[in-house]
Structure 1
Amino acid sequence: MAVTAIAIGIWQALSSLGVTNPIMVPSPLDIAVAFAELVTRGYFWAATWITLQETVLGFAIGVSLGLIIGALTGTFRTFRTAFYPLVVAFQNTPRVALAPIFLTWFGFGITSKVVMAAVICFFPVVINTVAGIAGVDDNAKTLFRSMGASKMQTFFRLTLPGASAVAFAGVKTALTLALLGAIVGEFVGASEGLGVLIKELNFQLEVAKGFAVVIFLAVIGLVLYGLIELIEKHLITWVRD
């Protein structure tokens, strides 16, 4: 917090001394005033609600599919041989380039942004889940088999708990990417949302308000990330720093 406060102070000082161009880089005070005006506008909260819906729905879909595909890929050799190369190949495809395709398929409404958010957060969950399963101790698996545990029992009592910490790291990464996917989808084509609001404000040269929305998005990302970390602490109680 101290570093942030110092950085904001330096930024404000440079703006007050005329070092920075207020049209290109507004001062923190101007941004704060602009944000105070934005929060009194109904369209701002309507746009926020749309973007939050896209982010949360896309995150839920992407993470659910990512965990399922990751578990199947990490557990079954045949599934891994058949599908994992496709997952890796798709991972190397710039997902931003898919936004216009999703726009064509699903239209300008919320669906295309949800799909974009889901796709962009799907891959880190898959990869981390596979890595988590691969990292489970082989000796522990051997011990479970020697004690007569079935494959299902081994999976739920050893593999799943052992892989959960690594998999959850992918889930936390996916949340921030889901917000990014929603905004990218709005940039490409939408009629509402915070991404659309940023474009409109910049077009109208309301740069301070544009900065205020960007900072607001960063705060939303931090809050959502904090919620996921809180959930992780309650779910994965066997992992402690």
Structure 2
Amino acid sequence: MSTSTAHKMPPTRKTTVTKAGRPARRGPWAKVWPPVLVIVVFLLLWELACRAGLVNEIIVPPPSDVAVSFVSMLDKAYFWEATWVTMAETIAGFLIGVVLAWAIGTALGMYDWAKTAFYPIVVGFQITPRVALAPLFLTWFGFGLTSKVVMAATICFFPVLLNVMVGMDTVDRNARTLMRSLGASRWEEYRKLVLPSSLPLIFAGIKNAITLALIGAIVAEFVGASRGMGVLIKSLNFQLDVAGGFAVIVALMIFGLILYWIVEYIDSKVVFWRSHS
């Protein structure tokens, strides 16, 4: 009489299988804490250097003084007025620059003769320091809002223009030939093939443009303006309020990051088929 013995295996613990032995995907905070840690360490070392006398506090104030100035400035009407002016200049210049660059870049990318004729001119303007144009814009358009908007639009125009043209050049020519052979019009070819293929590069240029637009507005305010955050920085420096000047710079960084994140959010919704690493 033969018997069979059943061996019961001990229960196994559930494990998370990951590709190539990598740990499971972490939450969003995994991308947040490393830069936060770097900033905290940097500010701590900066504070210690100032308190130890290694850095002249009159020239480079400690972060604690900058924080006090920043908090006190939030209650001041002049700060928010300057913020409103600079943000209006930045956003208006950004929108004008992006729309014009997208339209002109599309025209140059769709027609080879236009690209051949105008591309050298575009490159020439691209390598020209746009900051040097600020005094000219001040002479042409005056000390008001217009010169600042034109400066912001000019400085963010060319990165978007070049990215539009490069993005359209990356489209598979065989696919374009196939669409034309099927009787697609230029508009159908652009809408169904060229635009979706070039959008990732275009938005890369747009994200670069929003930061450049803010820089352009501040530079124009430095050259000549009566209102704005650039004027506020100059005024505080003339008063030897260096901590206040640093506080305005911190505010500019925060507002610039907010604008960048807004554009990045729009990018993630429009170019939804692109995988973000």
Question: Same fold judged by TM-score > 0.5?
Answer: yes
The one-letter code sitting in structure 1 at the alignment partner of 2:86 is T
Q: Which of 99, 107, 113 is the equivalent residue of 1:72?
A: 107
Of Structure 1 and Structure 2, the greater helix share is in: 1
Aligned length: 241
Which residue does 2:163 correspond to in 1?
128
3-state SS of 2:198 partner? helix
Cα deviations across residues 81-136 of structure 1 (Å, max 9, x unaligned)?
22221111111111111101100111001100000000000000000000000001
Partner of 1:235: 270
How many angstroms apart in 1 are the aligned matches of 2:275 and 2:182? Answer: 28
**Which residue of the partner structure matches residue 31 of structure 1?**
66
Normalised TM-score (structure 1): 0.98
- How far is 1:145 from its partner? 2.5
Match of 1:143 among 174, 178, 181: 178
- How far the C-alpha of 1:143 sits from its partner, in A, is 2.5
Corresponding position: 1:184 with 2:219:
yes
The answer for unaligned runs of 5 or more in structure 1 is none
The separation in 1 between residues aligned to 2:110 and 2:46, in whole angstroms, is: 52
| Gap regions ≥5 residues in structure 2 | 1-35
Task: For 1:183 and 1:151, locate their aligned partners in 2 and report how far apart those are by CA, in whole Å.
Answer: 40
Tell me, in whole angstroms, the C-alpha distance in 2 between the residues paired with 1:169 and 1:13. 39
Deviation at 1:175, TM superposition (A): 0.3
What residue in structure 2 maps to residue 171 of structure 1?
206
Provide Cα deviations, 1:129-182, integer angstroms capped at 9, x if missing partner: 000000011122122223332222111100011011101100000000000000
1:156 is aligned, of 191, 196, 199, to 191
1:22 maps to 2:57: yes
Structure 1 partner of 2:18: none
Partner of 1:196: 231
Match of 2:20 in 1: none
Whichever residue aligns with residue 151 of structure 2, its letter is M
User: What amino acid sits opposite 2:231 in the alignment?
Assistant: V
Find runs of 4+ consecutive structure 1 residues off by over 6 angstroms. Answer: none
CA–CA distance in structure 2, aligned partners of residues 15 and 157 of structure 1: 59
Q: 1:93 aligns with which of 110, 128, 140?
A: 128
Matched residue, 1:114: 149
1:54 aligns with 2:89: yes
Give 2:144's aligned amino acid.
G
Task: Specify the code of the residue in structure 2 equivalent to 1:197.
Answer: L
Return the match for 2:251 from 210, 216, 221. Answer: 216
Q: Supply the AA of the counterpart residue of 2:244.
A: K
Q: Match of 1:205, SS?
A: coil
CA deviation string 1:160-208 (max 9, x = no partner)? 1101110110000000000000000000000000000000100110000
Q: Give the aligned CA root-mean-square deviation in angstroms.
A: 0.9
**One-letter code aligned to 2:141:** F
Deviates more, 1:149-158 or 1:110-119: 149-158
In structure 2, what residue type is equivalent to 1:160?
L
Deviates more, 1:187-196 or 1:213-222: 213-222
User: In structure 1, what residue type is equivalent to 2:169?
Assistant: A
